[in-house]
Structure 1
Amino acid sequence: MNLPNVVNELVKAQDNFDSKAYADCFAETAIVFDEGKTYHGKKEIENWIDKANREYQVTMKPLEYLEKAQILKAEVSGAFPGSPLVLTYQYEFEDKLIKSLKIV
């Protein structure tokens, strides 16, 4: 599967539970939408993923990437009810970083 480099880095950071490396995949003013909440900027994104890592220990297995739509379908596993689940990651990129991410 041919993923953008920043998405490969994001998956690697997630699987290593590395909140700083995860946040470094995002632009300074990036936005993440997840579970009905919105996170603004790298620091908020780092705090969000750090809390999620501690709570759920989520790992990602990319299944399909739709390049034109900038959508990744991935199987996520962790310490949460219903694990594993297939989630959809909708990206917008800017200067080779993630500008926005919506997880559904």
Structure 2
Amino acid sequence: MNLPKVIADLAIAQNNFDSVAYANCFSETAVVFDEGKTHHGRKEIQDWITDSNERYQATMQPVSFEEKETESLLKAETSGNFPGSPILLSYHLEIADELIQSLKITG
């Protein structure tokens, strides 16, 4: 599977529980929607993923990637300390200038 560099970097950062590297995959003004909450900007995204890593210790294995006109869709098998693990999650991404502008994670 041929992933854009920023998506490959995101998966590596997630699997290494590296919150700083994960947040650096996003623009300064990026937005993340996950578990009914919205996180604005790189600092909030870093805080969110740090908390998520501590609670769930989730790793992701990309399964498929599709680029559309305005959005890309990554499907990844996600495993960790949460009910139903592993599960297939969809990562709806908007990417510009090689950085993630928005991410919405759905089940």
Q: TM-score range by the shorter chain?
A: over 0.9
Matched, 1:95 2:91: no
1:9 corresponds in structure 2 to 9
Matched, 1:57 2:76: no
Give the Cα–Cα distance (whole angstroms) in 1 for the partners of residues 95 and 67 of structure 2.
12
Structure 2 residue identity aligned to 1:17: F
Cα deviation, 1:19-44, whole Å, max 9, x if unaligned, reads: 00000000000000001100000000
1:34 corresponds in structure 2 to 34
Matched, 1:25 2:25: yes
Cα deviation, 1:1-36, whole Å, max 9, x if unaligned, reads: 011100000000000000000000000000000011
Per-residue deviation, 1:94: 1.5
Stretch deviating more after TM superposition (65-74 or 20-29): 65-74
Where in structure 1 do 4 or more consecutive aligned residues deviate above 4 Å? none
**SS of the residue aligned with 2:11?**
helix
Equivalenced residue count is: 104
Structure 1 unaligned runs (5+)? none
Structure 2 residue identity aligned to 1:44: E
Structure 2 residue identity aligned to 1:87: L
Structure 2 unaligned runs (5+)? none
**SS of the residue aligned with 2:17?**
coil
Structure 2 residue identity aligned to 1:18: D
Cα deviation, 1:35-77, whole Å, max 9, x if unaligned, reads: 1100000000000000000111000000010122410000000
Identity of aligned pairs, percent? 61
